[in-house]
Amino acid sequence: MDCCGGKHHKHGGSSEHEHHEGSGQERGFSILPIVIVVLLVLGFIALTMVR
């Protein structure tokens, strides 16, 4: 029973964090690196294609 309670507690905290306004900011920060990586990969492909 204790384990179940602990799990529930963790889940609740996660939901709270998602509801926070900071969630939007966190999302933007996680998307930025992905966009940069994609641009780098595209640039690398373009360089290899030119060669």
Name the phi and psi angles at 45, rounded to 5. Answer: -65, -45
Q: pTM value?
A: 0.41
- Alpha carbons 39 and 28: distance in angstroms, whole number: 16
Each residue's pLDDT tens digit, 34-43:
999 999 999 9
Q: Is 30 helix (H, G, I), strand (E, B) or coil?
A: helix
25-44 average pLDDT score: 85
- Please give the single-letter amino acid code of residue 43: G
Per-residue DSSP letter, 28: H
17's CB contacts (< 8 A; 6+ apart) are 23
